[in-house]
Amino acid sequence: MDDAELVVPWEKQQQRLLNPNDSRGTSPVRKSFSYAGVTSTDGARSVAAGLAVVSADASLLINEAMPPNELTSVSRHPSASHKTCSRKSPSVSDPTAAIFQAGAKMKFMPFFVKQLGPQVLASGSAGGSDSSLEVTCSYISQEEAKQIDEELFTEYAFSVDQLMELAGYSCAVAIQSAYPRAAMKSSDGGVLICCGPGNNGGDGLVCARHLKLFGYKPTIYYPRSPTKQLYKNLVTQCEKMGIAFLSYIPSDVKILESSYDLIVDALFGFGFRPPLKPDFAEVVQCIADLQVPLACIDVPSGWEVGEKTETKDILQPDCLISLTAPKLCARRFNGRFHFLGGRFVPPILADKYNLCLPQYPDASPVVLLSGPPPPTPSK
């Protein structure tokens, strides 16, 4: 549609503005609001956010909602000494991205306009030349991550297996987005998931099960026999789906490189404290030596969860899938894809910790925080 159409009379629209006395001038662009997300000839978009209809004039909205000195940081939990991640300011040609970024500052979550799907959200661009994305999101410390987890299990009555299922499914969706099955031609969809003894390993087991359902051919490296019933159940589920298990990692890297198009690190999560034990240190070094893309779940194994001190970051993943919120160590991530998964944080809990979390696209359990748009598989 080329010409803007007023779906709601201007007088009524004024009543729904955040500031009813602000008519936002006489510009037809600024007055063109629509529940249908009509795009005017001047390129502005309109967005409905509950009963508050907000102008999609990007420059006006950003200037009013986010002062220049706040464009790269958002207030954090009082106990935290860190800031949120920085991101690029939206271009004039990308008013929707401006609204998305301002939404976290202005207590509303805009519904995206017509035809704005996950691909546009992932790119952070609506026709601009820059196809990369950087989205505002809070980093949390190891202690904060533990506190949030504990509250989810107690005050919010989530069970461990419930959150593990949501987290593992999120990881599988992120992997499918970044590494489409159709693109894995050399190994015919082969993925090696390396699972540790704790909850991060449980996330990996769940991830493997969903990847199997997505058409991949996962293999699980699980060096220790589980003792807890939860992990025994996850192993049984994978075995019943025909997923193969490895008890050791072949020393010949060529065997691994010819058998798998992706390695998934699910050895240790945010509870890890260095150093790595010798047996796992060997596995981590073997993974690091492979010329195969690596995706890490929540925290790259062996990394210090907080600020780096003396430990070397051996693993350098191509993809990082943060859960709940990115940990401080994610600042050191230099790979292509950074996803946030685990869409289970209650808004009240997020407010308590002043978490700045991005809006997830549609019903997706993951959102791309930084990186290029995920590749589109060729047919």
Annotated binding site for (6S)-NADPHX: 199-203, 269-275, 298
HEC secondary structure over 56-70: CCHHHHHHHHCCHHH
Q: Residue 195 forms beta bridges with which residues?
A: 266
Beta strand extents in 256-365 (DSSP E only): 262-266, 294-297, 319-323, 337-341
Question: Order of strands, edge to edge, in the sheet holding 262-266?
Answer: 133-134, 366-371, 337-341, 319-323, 294-297, 262-266, 190-195, 217-221, 244-246
Rounded to a whole number of angstroms, the distance between the first and last alpha carbons of the chain is 31
- What does the alpha-carbon distance between residue 74 and residue 105 come to, in Å, rounded to a whole number? 8
Q: Alpha-carbon distance 194 to 266, whole Å?
A: 6
Q: Report the binding-site residues.
A: 199-203, 265, 269-275, 298, 301
Q: Which residue ranges are tagged as binding site for K(+)?
A: 200, 265, 301
- Mind spelling out the 3-state secondary structure of 162-216? HHHHHHHHHHHHHHHHHCCHHHCCCCCCEEEEEECCCHHHHHHHHHHHHHHHCCC
